[in-house]
A and B are shown apart, each in its own frame.
Chain A
Amino acid sequence: MAIMNKKGVFFTFMAILVVGVLVLAFSSDIYVTSKNEVPVVKSRVKTADSYLRNLESSYLKRSLYTSSYNALNSLILYIEKEGFLDSETDLNAKFKEVVLSGSINGKNINEEYGINLMEEKTFIYRLDKIEEMSQDVLHITTNFSKENIDTVIFQSDDTGSWQVGVNLTMNFSVDAGIASWNKTETISIMLSIIGFDDPLYLPYNHPIKETLFNDTEWNVSNLIEHIENATYRHESNESKHHSPSYLMRFYESYSPSLCCGIESMINKTLSDGRYKSYVDYCFWSDECEGYGAWLYNITGITTISYPFKLDAYHIAQYNVTSEAVKS
Chain B
Amino acid sequence: MHKKAYFFTLDAFIATSVIVIGIVLINLAHTNKPYEMQTAFLSQDVIDAASSIKVYEISDNEYVNNLTESGNITNPSNTVLEQVGEFCSRGMNSTASNFTEKVFLRTIPQEYNFQLLIKDGNNMILFNYTKGKNMETSRVLISSKNIIFGQIDDATMWGPYMSEVRTWQ
Question: Which residues does A use to contact B, with CB under 8 Å?
Answer: 1, 4, 7-8, 11-12, 14-15, 18-19, 21-22, 25, 28, 43, 51, 54, 58-59, 62-63, 65-66, 69-70, 73, 117, 121, 126, 129-130, 133-134, 136-138, 191
Q: How far is the CB of B10 from chain A (nearest CB, A)?
A: 10
* In the complex, the 8 A-B pairs of residues with the closest C-beta atoms, listed nearest first: A18-B15, A11-B8, A137-B162, A133-B160, A66-B157, A69-B154, A25-B22, A137-B145
Are B22 and A22 in contact, with the CB atoms below 8 A? yes
Instruction: Give Cα A62–Cα B1 distance, bound, in whole angstroms.
Output: 88
Are B155 and A121 in contact, with the CB atoms below 8 A? yes
Are A14 and B15 in contact, with the CB atoms below 8 A? yes
Are A66 and B156 in contact, with the CB atoms below 8 A? yes
Are B5 and A4 in contact, with the CB atoms below 8 A? yes
Q: How far is the CB of B129 from chain A (nearest CB, A)?
A: 22
Instruction: Give Cα A130–Cα B26 distance, bound, in whole angstroms.
Output: 44
Q: How far is the CB of B159 from chain A (nearest CB, A)?
A: 8
- Residues on B with beta carbons closer than 8 Å to the beta carbon of A15: 8, 11-12, 15
Which A-chain residue is minimally distant from B23 (CB atoms)? A25
Q: How far is the CB of A81 from chain B (nearest CB, A)?
A: 20
Instruction: Give Cα A132–Cα B151 distance, bound, in whole angstroms.
Output: 19
Decide yes or no whether B113 CB sits under 8 A from chain A: no
Instruction: Give Cα A22–Cα B149 distance, bound, in whole angstroms.
Output: 53
Between B1, B4, B19, B154, the greatest number of chain A beta carbons within 10 A of the residue's beta carbon is seen for B154
Decide yes or no whether B124 CB sits under 8 A from chain A: no
Interface SS of chain A: helix
Interface SS of chain B: mixed
A-B CB contact pairs (8 Å), 28 listed: A7-B5, A14-B11, A14-B12, A15-B8, A18-B15, A18-B19, A21-B19, A21-B22, A22-B19, A22-B22, A28-B26, A51-B147, A58-B149, A59-B149, A62-B157, A65-B151, A65-B154, A66-B154, A69-B155, A70-B155, A121-B156, A121-B157, A126-B157, A133-B147, A133-B162, A134-B147, A137-B162, A191-B154
**B120-169: which residues lie under 8 A (CB-CB) from chain A?**
145-147, 149-151, 154-157, 159-162, 164
Q: Which of A59, A66, A69 contacts B160 (CB 8 A)?
A: A59
Q: Which of B18, B44, B162 contacts A43 (CB 8 A)?
A: B44
The number of chain B residues with a CB under 8 A from chain A is: 29
Would A138 and B157 be within 8 Å (CB), given that A22-B18, A22-B19 are in contact?
no
Between A19, A28, A136, the greatest number of chain B beta carbons within 10 A of the residue's beta carbon is seen for A136
Instruction: Give Cα A133–Cα B12 distance, bound, in whole angstroms.
Output: 60
Between B1, B22, B160, the greatest number of chain A beta carbons within 10 A of the residue's beta carbon is seen for B160
Instruction: Give Cα A286–Cα B72 distance, bound, in whole angstroms.
Output: 52
**B3-51: which residues lie under 8 A (CB-CB) from chain A?**
4-5, 8-9, 11-12, 15-16, 18-19, 22, 26, 44
Instruction: Give Cα A138–Cα B147 distance, bound, in whole angstroms.
Output: 8
Would A136 and B162 be within 8 Å (CB), given that A11-B8, A22-B22, A51-B147 are in contact?
yes
Q: Which of A1, A4, A8, A138 contacts B145 (CB 8 A)?
A: A138
Q: How far is the CB of B109 from chain A (nearest CB, A)?
A: 21
Are B22 and A62 in contact, with the CB atoms below 8 A? no
Q: How far is the CB of A29 from chain B (nearest CB, A)?
A: 8
Q: How far is the CB of A44 from chain B (nearest CB, A)?
A: 12
Instruction: Give Cα A100–Cα B151 distance, bound, in whole angstroms.
Output: 19
- Residues on A with beta carbons closer than 8 Å to the beta carbon of B164: 137
Are B22 and A8 in contact, with the CB atoms below 8 A? no
- Residues on A with beta carbons closer than 8 Å to the beta carbon of B11: 11, 14-15
Which A-chain residue is minimally distant from B1 (CB atoms)? A4
Q: How far is the CB of A130 from chain B (nearest CB, A)?
A: 6
Are A62 and B15 in contact, with the CB atoms below 8 A? no
Which A-chain residue is minimally distant from B152 (CB atoms)? A66
Are B147 and A25 in contact, with the CB atoms below 8 A? no
Q: How far is the CB of A119 from chain B (nearest CB, A)?
A: 12
Instruction: Give Cα A129–Cα B11 distance, bound, in whole angstroms.
Output: 66
Q: How far is the CB of B11 from chain A (nearest CB, A)?
A: 5
- Residues on B with beta carbons closer than 8 Å to the beta carbon of A62: 149-151, 157
14 additional A-B pairs beyond A14-B8, A14-B12, beta carbons within 8 Å, are A4-B5, A14-B11, A15-B12, A18-B16, A21-B19, A51-B147, A66-B154, A69-B154, A129-B160, A130-B160, A136-B162, A137-B145, A137-B162, A191-B154
Q: How far is the CB of B86 from chain A (nearest CB, A)?
A: 13
Instruction: Give Cα A255–Cα B48 distance, bound, in whole angstroms.
Output: 53
- Residues on B with beta carbons closer than 8 Å to the beta carbon of A28: 26
